[in-house]
Structures are given as structure tokens and as C-alpha cells.
Amino acid sequence: MLIDLANFTPWQSMAGGILIGAAAAVLVLFNGRIAGISGIVGGLLGLPRHDMAWRLAFLAGLVSVPVIAGLLGMPAIADIQAGWSEIMVAGFVVGVGTRYASGCTSGHGVCGISRGSIRSLVATATFMAAGFLTVLIQRHLLGG
């Protein structure tokens, strides 16, 4: 196995993980809410809309931080090698999957497992297995 040292960023990755964990902990401790993105966005689309302020603030932070990092000269933009149609289909499939799984990877993986949720453990294991299988098929069996 070869490590791509040009893109190997263990310290930045660890710092990002710590920030994500801290944000999830702050949200649950001070607001009693789980930091699952599908639930946060779903709450904006549904009724009643009495708790929109914190949802909009959370999403604004989620979107603005990479923009600010880019303005500060930090490389924060990923090189996505897919067209808009592929991205839209992938987003739709992920959205359907989050409905079936009763949450997304952030809600189950970061928040659910830390709360000891068996459902989140199973969901995260399923997400990971599907990802491993996709990489196996795409890169090793199809030669992509």
C-alpha cells in the first residue's frame, strides 16, 4: 500500500475531527439537538418552523468556513471529478438513503455512536461497508 504523501494531512484531519466532535458536543449540550445534517436540513423544510434560527446558523457555519479558509489561503476546495448531473443523482441517492437509515453519516457516525446507539452503530457499519464495496468495485474490479 502506498501513501500519497502530497495529500497526506494527518494533523489537519485530526484538527478537523476534533472541531466536528466539539461542534456536535456543544450543540447537544447547549441546545439538546443532534448534529445530523439531514435532520437539520429536514427541519428547515418541514413544519412547524419555530426553531429555524439555530438550523440556519449551523448551516451558515458549515458553508462559510471553507469559504473563509479559501480566502485565508488555505486549500479547502476539493477537486471533484464528476459532472453536475452525477453530483445531483448522487445527492438524491444519499437523500433517499438518509430517509431509510433515519439519519445521515454525521448523525449516526459522530453523534449516534458516541451516545451508544445500536441503531447508529449498525447504520455506520452499513455506510462503511457500502463505501468499501464501492471502492473495491470501482477501483479494483472495473479498473477506474
Cα torsion angle, 52, 27, 60, 99, sign: negative
9 in the Ramachandran plot: left (φ > 0), alpha (ψ -120 to 50) or beta?
beta
* Structural domain includes residue 47: yes
Instruction: Look at the chain and report how many structural domains it folds into.
Output: 1
pTM greater than the 0.75 cutoff: no
* Structural domain includes residue 109: yes
* Structural domain includes residue 113: yes
Range of the domain at 43: 15-141
* Structural domain includes residue 9: no
* Structural domain includes residue 71: yes
* Structural domain includes residue 2: no
* ∠ Cα 126 114 117 (to 5°): 55
Instruction: Dump pLDDT digits (tens) for 90-123.
Output: 988 888 888 888 888 888 988 899 889 999 999 9
Instruction: Dump pLDDT digits (tens) for 47-94.
Output: 777 888 889 998 998 889 888 888 888 766 677 788 999 999 998 888
* Structural domain includes residue 55: yes
* Structural domain includes residue 41: yes
